[in-house]
Amino acid sequence: MSGNSPNNKKSIVDEYVRRLSKYASDIKFIDDTLFAAIPSNSFREAVKLVHDEFDCYLRTCAGVDERPVNGFFAMYYIFGDDRNGLNIVLKTYADPSKQVFPSVTDICPAADWCEMEARDLLGLEFKGRQQYRLVLPNWWPKNLYPLRKDVPHDIKPKPSFTGERVSVGRKGSSAPIPVGPYHPALHEPEYFELYVEGEKVVDVKYRGFHVHRGIEKLAETRMTYQQIPFLAERICGICGFVHSTCYCQAVEKAARIDVPERALFIRSIILEIERIHSHLLWVGVAAHLLGYDTGFMHSWRIREHVMYLAELLTGSRKTYGINLIGGVRKDINEDKIPKTLEVLSIIEKEFARLVDTMISVPEIKFRLKETGILPKEDARKLSVVGPTARGSGLDRDNRRDLPYAAYKYADFNVPVYDEGDNLARTLVRVDEVFESIKIIRQLIEQLPKGPIMAEEIDIPENRMAVSLVEAPRGEDVHFVITGYGKPYRWRVRAPTYQNIPALKVMLNGVMLADAPLTIASIDPCFSCTDRIVVVKSDGRREVLHLPSQWGGMGCSRL
């Protein structure tokens, strides 16, 4: 049953309320989100109900230090019911003297990283699972938890050289092969340890989170609501507009701010330009990894047209800086629309010619087909998103399922392939380029007149909202609890965070030569490095921390 009609949605929400009432102490439904507070002793039963019986998937979870408000630490688990256009937020809490929560990773494997992130940053413990340090470096002092409200944002523990064992040598009869700590083609920090038998990969270990930039803490302590869109846009060097839009939407939703329609259309148009730019970049990188550098150069040549379009409409080739809470700062000059449509036609024609040629090369098709397979059931368990999910038969796209900005005014297809291999993920992105061009044309044709900023912007305290934007790499999630003059809590979950754990499944059994392409097939966005890692002959590594001004951009961790 689809929940798109108001009557259907009401009956579905009523069913959620009826069945969750058995566990919940407080339930409320606002817009498209149902919030339920569940005591910790019945929390796992409530999660089983939502995940297994309502067939929801976990978008992310977030720890919050609510001691200054109510005396407790809290965990929020955010689920998606995209078929019915709903977010389900389950909250549980723990006594501050114990700080122990029940883990749900045996029910939702996708909760693994976000639980361990809450452990690192807030000092929360999770019963019933293996616990480990995830995002903070090994030298970080124990009992110092950066996201607690009583920890200042500018505290600077003295960094040190530390040792970290990254390999124990052979695993069974296999041999380890390191890839990283700096990816040779994607040019970002990551460390994969591939275990091979002959030429076949039989297992993989991943070590990421080399950089932590403290963006969430900065926003919660040092910045105002209207400054944060510019910080959010710097989360990622490729899809930064996705993040500023997602943040603005979260605050606008929490504060019930009516954004003018013209601003919503402008956001959708720029988001689709960003998607085309990102997919063309990826097609070029994939061609390079396949040894087809002619394809790489032509893809990036066509991408230049997209960069020109972005500059024509926003004034910048990248990092546009036009989003604000309540609307946008820059209008679209309608004198530029004919040129925009002309350039879109050029992109469409040249990209179609490139794809026809590239996909018809037998060696390219051979390397893509039936490699890096992610079965649909594994994709669901791991809650993967974007082209990675749609290439494994999961028909999810937030632009259609929970429409935001001006997507409800556009008619478009959501490409889905069932094969789950590298070819399927490639074809999803190729199809999406043409769909994005179609969306932009429709929105330009319907672009309404009127203001581009809301007249009144009042943001009350203690409001919550979940905002979703379908980024080129997949679903981007921003969760906001409003505070005085700034967010009390701002949680960001970029799509790569959700997709990396699936590589363990995708890499299992692939030929070593296909491993770089399989890793790239999720279009990962690792964070740029500000550390040097030296792997020593005894299997340990030393980590040198460089001054923060040497850091760069990326979206792996915030």
pLDDT (tens digit per residue) in 378-432 = 999 898 999 999 999 999 999 999 999 999 999 999 999 999 999 999 999 999 9
Which pLDDT score is estimated for 184? 65
Q: What is the pLDDT of residue 545?
A: 39
- Given pLDDT bands bounded at 50, 70 and 90, which one contains residue 209? confident
Residue 185 pLDDT class (50, 70, 90 cuts): low
Calpha distance 145→57 (Å, rounded): 29
At 98 the pLDDT is: 83
Q: Is pLDDT above 60 for 533?
A: no
In this predicted structure, the answer to whether residue 166 has a pLDDT above a threshold of 70 is: no
Grade residue 213 by pLDDT with cuts at 50, 70 and 90.
confident
* 42's tokens: 């019945």
The phi, psi pair for 313, rounded to 5°, reads: -90, -25
Encode pLDDT of 21-47 as tens digits.
999 979 999 999 999 999 999 999 999
- The residue count for the chain: 558
Please report the pLDDT score of residue 206 as a whole number: 83
Cα gap 136→458, rounded to integer Å: 36
pTM confidence score: 0.91
* pLDDT tens per residue, range 222-252: 999 999 999 999 998 888 999 999 999 999 9
Q: Which residues contact 238 (CB under 8 A, 6 or more apart)?
A: 274, 277, 278, 281, 472, 525
Comparing C-alpha atoms, which of 141, 181, 237 is closest to residue 473? 237
Query: How high is the pLDDT of residue 171?
Result: 59
User: What's the pLDDT score for residue 186?
Assistant: 67
Taking the C-alpha atoms of residue 228 and residue 480, their distance in angstroms, rounded to an integer, is 12
Region 480-507: mean pLDDT is 94
**Which are the contacts of 529, defined by CB distance < 8 A and separation ≥ 6?**
181, 182, 188, 189, 210, 211, 552
Of 67-76, 95-104, 498-507, 529-538, where does mean pLDDT reach its minimum? 529-538
The answer for residues whose C-beta is within 8 angstroms of residue 114's C-beta and 6 or more apart is 60, 61, 62, 493
Q: For the residues 310-324, what does the mean pLDDT come to?
A: 95
pLDDT for residue 160: 75
CA angle, corner 254, sides to 457 and 452, nearest 5? 40
Provide the pLDDT for residue 114.
95
**Contact, 309 vs 340, CB < 8 A?**
yes
Span 417-442, pLDDT tens digits: 999 999 999 999 999 999 999 999 99
* Cα gap 340→313, rounded to integer Å: 8
Summary mean pLDDT of the chain: 89
Query: Chain centroid to CA 111: how far?
Result: 14
d(C-alpha 248, C-alpha 327), whole Å: 8
- pLDDT at residue 514, as a whole number: 92
Token code pair at residue 67: 């001691």
Least-confidence region, from 48-62, 156-170, 290-304: 156-170
Would you state the pLDDT for residue 3? 53
pLDDT value of residue 167? 58
User: Angle at Cα 386 formed by Cα 380 and Cα 388, nearest 5°?
Assistant: 65
The per-residue pLDDT for 67 is 94
Please give the Cα distance from 482 to 69 (Å, whole number): 12
Q: What is the pLDDT of residues 88-121, one digit of tens each?
A: 999 999 987 889 999 999 999 999 999 999 999 9
Where does the pLDDT of residue 493 fall: very low under 50, low under 70, confident under 90, or very high at 90 and above? Answer: very high
CB atoms near residue 403 (< 10 Å): 18
Whether the pLDDT of residue 375 is over 60: the answer is: yes
pLDDT at position 524:
83
CA distance 172 to 202: 10
What band does 480 get if pLDDT is binned at 50, 70 and 90? Answer: very high
Question: How far apart, in whole angstroms, are the C-alpha atoms of residue 313 and residue 332?
Answer: 6
Report the 10 Å Cβ neighbour count for 138: 10
User: Kind and range of the H or E element at 61?
Assistant: strand 57-66
Specify the higher pLDDT residue, 366 or 533: 366
